[in-house]
Amino acid sequence: MNLKRWLILLFLICATFGIGGLFRNIEAKVKDILPANEEAQFSKLREEMVNTQIEARGIKDRRVLEAMRKVPRHKFVPRLYQRFAYRDFPLPIGEGQTISQPYIVALMTDLLKLTGNEKVLEIGTGSGYQAAILAELTHYVYTIEILPVLAERAEELLKRLGYKNIVVKCGDGYLGWEEYAPFDAIIVTCAPEEIPQALVEQLADGGRMVIPVGSNYQELMLIEKKNNQIKIRNVIPVKFVPMIKK
């Protein structure tokens, strides 16, 4: 067995049994033996992803497309899965959670119709990828993750990538973030069985919320608030991890 295969095998063992320090050490060694032109390859894959998976499916907002072209999705998944980062499916990120399919990220972002000055709340930080996309499109992003390991990891990565307009909180997304409400837009990246009332209340008048709702069968919903009246539109069937409640 050559060195690279041996390191990847150890990497898988660490990922399975949660041996944190050894996991990070193996990850660093795998990184050291990857090709020097890796970033150029990922950039090419990212461009192909946008062209074939997102723009070809009807996402036309140039700002959304440019954000998807810019944010390095591969940095938001475990090293073992980075070669699949720009494929047309979700990927595991640990703690039983996933990073959404690229098209779904783009679609949900597009539905918010961001112009650049909005204050956005995200429920379900996960890897931090969706927050990074939002941060390319507006000035203020507040994101909540209920799992401490993911919240800490995402906050560290987003800071390392230079994002200064994202605030990460470890907490219960069902409660929203009243301190900073109301929000011009809310995006939920995990599925509650019903729309949380706190999020509806914290949505600003004229605001938009995108949220998957349901248990076994889920529907992506667009919620608009106007004159304190709520309008709900079903967009497409989806499959998200369940929204966790404390």
- Positions marked active-site: 100
Residues 6+ apart with CB under 8 A from 144: 121, 122, 123, 124, 125, 168, 169, 170, 171, 172, 173, 176, 177
CA distance 132 to 127: 10
Give Cα separations from 11 to 96, 97, 206 (angstroms): 17, 19, 48
- Helices within 162-210 (DSSP H only): 197-202
Sign for the pseudo-dihedral over CA of 56, 57, 61, 65: negative
Other Cβ atoms less than 10 A from the Cβ of 78: the count is: 17
Give Cα separations from 133 to 72, 93, 108, 118, 227 (angstroms): 10, 17, 11, 14, 29
Q: Is 173 left (phi over 0), alpha (psi -120 to 50) or beta?
A: alpha
CA distance 202 to 121: 9
CA distance 49 to 53: 5
CA distance 152 to 224: 32
